[in-house]
Amino acid sequence: MWLSKLPDSPFGRRVTNEARQHGVEPRVTWVNEARQSVYYIEECSTPRGTTVIYDRTDAAITTATPSEIDGGATGDAEVFYISGITPALSPTLAETTADLLAGAKRAGTTTAFDLNYRSKLWEPKEAKRQYESLFSDVDILVAAERDVGVVLDRDKGAEKTPAHPDTL
C-alpha cells in the first residue's frame, strides 16, 4: 500500500496506474489545481557525473496533512516505511511524517525510516535535527553510510539490534 496526495490529472493518474502495475495499492487524496512533483536524471559518462534535477515546488504532496493521508492504513500494515525525503519537502510534510510515524507506532505497526538524505533539499544540520526528532517512533532505521556520516556525524559501522519480537 502506498499513501500520497496527488493532482487529479492525467499525470497523477499515471503515477497510480504505474504503482498498481507493480502490485502496489495506492491510497491517494486527489486535489485539483495542483502539480505533480518530478525529477529528471541526466546520466553522463566520465568525467562528468550524473545530474539529478528535482521539480517539487508547489507539488500536491508538499501540502499533505495527517487528515488527508489515510493514517488508519498504517495500523493495518505489517511495516510502515517512510523516506527521509518526505519531511524535507515542506514544514507541513515534516509534521505529517511525525504524526504518521507516531500513529503507526501506537497501532503496534513496525516503523521503518530511511534517511535518504538529499543535500539539494536541506542542510545536514537541519536534516539531523528533524531526523532525530522522529527516531523515538522508528523501529528500523535504513541509512547509507555516507548519510550517517554527513547527517548524523557518526563514522562507526552499523550497529545491530535485536530483531522485532514479531519477526522472530
Claim to verify: residue 53 and residue 70 sit in the same structural domain: no
Domain residue limits at 137: 64-154
Does residue 34 have a pLDDT over 90? no
Going by the DSSP 8-state scheme, the letter that residue 151 receives in this structure is H
Q: What is the pLDDT of residues 151-168, one digit of tens each?
A: 988 876 556 555 555 544
pLDDT of residue 153: 82
pLDDT of residue 167: 46
Cα separation, 36 vs 159, whole angstroms: 38
Does residue 67 have a pLDDT over 70? yes
pLDDT of residue 157: 57
Claim to verify: residue 53 and residue 68 sit in the same structural domain: no
Q: What is the pLDDT of residues 115-155, one digit of tens each?
A: 999 998 899 999 999 999 999 999 999 999 889 989 988 87
Claim to verify: residue 81 and residue 10 sit in the same structural domain: no
Structural domain includes residue 42 = yes
Torsion 8-11-15-17 (CA) sign:
positive
pLDDT of residue 57: 85
Cα separation, 140 vs 161, whole angstroms: 9
Amino acid at 127: A
Under the banding of pLDDT at 50, 70 and 90, the label for residue 23 is very high
Amino acid at 117: Y
Q: How many domains, in total, are found in the chain? A: 2
Contact 88, 54 (CB under 8 A): no
Q: What is the enclosing helix (H) or strand (E) of 27?
A: strand 26-31
pTM recorded for the entire structure: 0.83
**Between vectors from CA 108 to CA 77 and to CA 110, what angle results, nearest 5°?**
60
